[in-house]
Structures are given as structure tokens and as C-alpha cells.
A and B are shown apart, each in its own frame.
Chain A
Amino acid sequence: MKGYLRSRMLKRYGVPLLYLILFLGWIFSSQMWIDMLSPWLPPNVGLVMRTPLPMLAWQHLFIVVISTALSVLTALLLASGVRLSRNQEWKSTVLTAGSIAETIPSAAVIALAVPILGYGNGPCMLALYLYALLPVVRNTMVGMDAIPLEIADAAEGLGMTRLQQLMKIDFPLAKPVIFAGIRTALIINVSLATIGATVGAGGFGVPIIAGIRSYDPILVLQGSIPVLLMAFFFDRIFRSSSI
């Protein structure tokens, strides 16, 4: 039993912890390794970044977490509203609107948003906000629709108000599916946030875009490896909390 518990704890927290350590290790020490390797590198490679990696990590996290959190909040409210209304038409309208929004290329959203929101984090966060909506809305609706009819029937028949049904039955039972949606949204956004650098947003996109422009693979790697680790980390965290 003890061994079983330990292996479960390890699975639950060990792997995300490993990703976290690798991530922190990278952002704090990669510059040092690159400096040490610089005598053997071609002269135009391994440029020194203007913004240190820990700062970029903070910017990236800020952009992703704030926009995704707002998006999840909106999505949950939207799905709850549709569920409370018991209106099939609203449901299909919301799902269709979400699907259409998802087909607009993210680069287009960012480009269109620049004249309104200006240069910087704004357009990027708007794009992330929009892209996270659909997975969460859809998963919330699907998860709640999958609740067996007799359970919904019993909840109504026992005299719960619709709000009580939503809070006491619908959300707890749909929770794993909702978490899967949040996970998807978060992972999409961690990687999507990198293109924000084209319109002046911060984050790991800065070294990646700079590296592409100056043909510097080391710079690209410096930005993309922590993006990868961050995505892995969120994937694991939301997987274990949904079990």
C-alpha cells in the first residue's frame, strides 16, 4: 500500500517537478553554457540576448496565464449560461461561433488587432483569449451533455433549482472533461504566445523571432526549449489534477 501510494505520488508530482527543474535550469543557466561554448561556435551565432531569459519567462507566463484564465472564465460562464437556459439553439450557436473563430489564422487576429490595441502584449493576448475559448466551451458542454439522463432527471425531481443542478451535479461530473479542455487551451496558448513577438509582445517568442531573423539556431533553441518544457509542465499538472 505504502509503495503503491509512493509510486502514485511520484507519478502525480514527480514528472511535473522534473519539467519544472529542467525549465528553471534552462532559463537560469543556458546563457552560461552558451558563453562557455562560444569559442567553438561560428562568430555570428549565440548572440547575447538583450532581455535575460528569466525575464522572458515571466513575460511569457504572464501573457499565457492571464489570457487563458480570462478565457476559461468567459468560457465557463458562457457554457453555464447555455446549460441553465436548456436551449438547444443557443448551444449550437455558441459552438458554431467558436468553431468559426478557431478557423481564423492566429497571425490574422494579431495583425488585425494591432491598429486597435497597439504594439505590445495586447494583440497577442487577444488572440490567445479567443483561441482558448472554444476548447473549454466545447468540453464543458460535451461533458455536461454526457451526464446520464437519469441523473439529471433525479436532480430535477428531487427539487434542485437549475443553478443547484449546475453547481452540485453538472460541474462536479463534467470536471474531468472540462479540465481536459483547459489543458488543451493552455498548451495551445503556450506555443501560440511565441508569435506575439512579431508585434512587440514579450516572452520566449523574442529570442525565437530574433534567432530566425539573424539565422542564429542557438537563439531559436534558447527560446523554444523552455516553451516546450512549459507546455509539458502544464500538460502534466492538468492531467494529474483531473484524475
Chain B
Amino acid sequence: MIQLTNVYKSYQEQPALQGVSLSVSEGQCAVLIGPSGCGKSTLLKTINRMVDIDEGEVKVRGKAVQEYEPEELRRNTGYCIQGVGLFPHLSVSENIAMVPKLLKWPEDKIIPRVKLLMELSGLPLSYLDKKPHQLSGGEAQRVGVCRALAADPPILLMDEPFGSVDPLNREKLQQAFIALQKELRKTVLFVTHDVEEALMVGDLIFVMNQGKVVAEGTPGQLAGSMESAFAKEFLGKEYPMKLLKRYTARDLPMDSLPKDGGDITGSATEDMPLSLKNPPLTENSNLQQVLSRMLEENRTTLPILREDDTVRYITYGALVAHLKEMSQ
């Protein structure tokens, strides 16, 4: 869907991209991560021709971007940026309807589309006629995502879309985005400098530094051996810990009976008595919560309450094995 081959770009002798190659296939959410000034935003802009490259090739849907008219290319590529950039003199619905209007959609097609997107992103329809200055930061970001998706583009470019929102709202927005992406299956290129965000939303992660991609792979693969010292340092020593948040208890094999000691009624394990201090976790708990619970209760086997009200057990060993499997 998106393919970059050996792309170079410099601004007045200042190199921004130095031989970047990457490819994203249809329906994938690829995250570009790296420190400020590593060229990730520039790379994003080469895809909708807001930046013209010096050397190399950028292909979108099998065709070099230079072969598209810039406006045509951009109208068929969702674009969503930090600070949102909503048009302050237009209402929420006019903002969202901008690209369909540019594409000359009939009016009776635009209105239902705007309403559908607002519902999908969790905005009440009473907001249709509000002006951007009446919205909170999180709401404005949602409108920004709606606007990017308005004309149903197959590709979505997001440049730190949740960068200017407080952590609590940011996580909500990320969850909303993940749900939306599950539904719409767009090809997404997502720029961020936040490792946890990258892990939450990305199917594929590209770590960038000084205009180059220094590491790439699925979030799990990046936990394994990495050649780049920079990527290791950037992702941090706690990377596997953060990675745990990406997976849920459902991903692990579960046993109907506890293995290494103790059952839920409180018989002893090898190291501690099994008492049920907290209500059992559910299948939807992420593995970070699972590990925390293990540490908190000092046990290696945890009961998990499934949706059908049966209890199954997962072990620390299974958790480690899962991480290892994902890093292959």
C-alpha cells in the first residue's frame, strides 16, 4: 500500500531523510517512532506530497506519488496532526465535511457520513453546530480524526495526533482509535515519540534516528534481539514491561486446574498461602495487570474469570513464553 525505497530529503544542506526504506501493507497500522528531529514527520509528509523528496521513490497504491496530482493524492489520504488544526471559523460538521465537499460529494451523502463518523468516535450529535473553541482538547482531537476519515480514504497519516492531550484523555483517545481501526481497517502511518503509545496502536513499529530507520518489526519482535544500540536505548530497559500492556490474558494458554500449587480456595503453594485478596482478573485484563497482580500477591499462578463465569488459571511461565513467542 505504502512503499518507500531509499528516500533522501534535505533542507538547505541539512539532511532530514537519509535513505529510508519501508513498506506498509493494507490494513496495517505502522508507527514511526523516534526523538524530535529524526525525520519522522518529514517522512509522513512525503507520502501526501507536502514534502517533495530529493532522491528515491515513494509509492502509494503501487504508483509513485509524483504521478498523482498533489490535491487528488491528499484528498484521498486522511491527514491528522498534532494541535489538530481545526478551522476556527467553521462548525464541527463543516470541519468534518471539508474533504467530501472538496471532492464534490452530494450534500445528502455528506450529512449521514458526518453523523456516522461522530458516532464512531464517540462524539454526541449535539456537537454538530459547535465551534472548535467550544470543544475540549480531547474532543477537538476526535473531530480531527473524523475530519481525516471523512471521505473514507484508504490511507490515514497521523502526526502525533494525541500529542497535545493530557495522559488520561490520551489513553481514552488511543482506545477509541484502536476500536475505530479494528472496524475500519485503514492503512495507517502513525507518528509518535511515545513508546507506550506506539505499543498500544501499532501493528508494526519503525524506530527512526537521524533520518534513518534503525529498527523495525512488530512490537513483540522489537523486544527480542536488536542490533541498533540507539533503538535499544530509545525504547528503554522497561520495554518488555510496557509491551505486556499490549496483550491480554486471553492471548495466553489457560489451564482448568492450577499447575504449580494452590487453588482458589486457599490451599498452600510452594512459597505462600493462596488467599484471594482481590477479585479475580478477567480475560480482558492486559498482561501488565496480570504481572502486577502476581507480584502483589506473590504467586506465579493466577485465576482468571472468563466471560462464561468459569475460572481458568494462567502461570508466570506461560506469560514469559508468550513474550518469547511474540519476539520471534
Contact = CB atoms under 8 A, between A and B. Distances in A.
B88 interface: yes
Interface string A144-182: 000010111111111111001000110011000000000
Contact of A150 (B48, B71, B85, B99): B85
A151 B102 contact: no
Contacts of A161: 71
A158 B98 contact: yes
Contacts, number: 59
Contacts of B232: none
A159 B75 contact: yes
B79 A158 contact: yes
Interface residues of A, number: 18
Given A151-B87, A151-B88, A169-B87, A159 B82 contact: no
A194 B102 CA distance: 49
Contact of B88 (A152, A164, A173): A173
B50 interface: yes
B102 A160 contact: yes
A215 B176 CA distance: 81
A150 B87 contact: no
Interface in B75-119: 75-77, 79, 81-89, 98-99, 102
A30 B167 CA distance: 71
A153 B83 CA distance: 10
B80 to A, nearest CB: 8
B81 A157 contact: yes
Contacts of B79: 154, 157-158
B147 interface: yes
B54 interface: no
A56 to B, nearest CB: 41
B81 A159 contact: no
A150 B75 contact: no
Given A150-B81, A160-B102, A155 B74 contact: no
Nearest to B79: A157
Given A159-B99, A169-B87, A173-B88, A154 B75 contact: no
B129 interface: no
Contacts of A172: 89
B74 A150 contact: no
Residue among A148, A156, A157 with the highest chain B CB neighbour number at 10 A: A157
A187 B157 CA distance: 49
Nearest to B148: A158
B102 A158 contact: yes
Given A157-B74, A158-B75, A150 B82 contact: yes
Nearest to A172: B89
A151 B83 CA distance: 9
Contacts of A153: 50, 81, 85
Contact of B74 (A148, A152, A156, A169): A156
Given A152-B85, A159-B77, 6 more contacts: A154-B79, A155-B85, A158-B75, A158-B99, A158-B102, A160-B98
Interface of A: 148, 150-161, 164, 168-169, 172-173
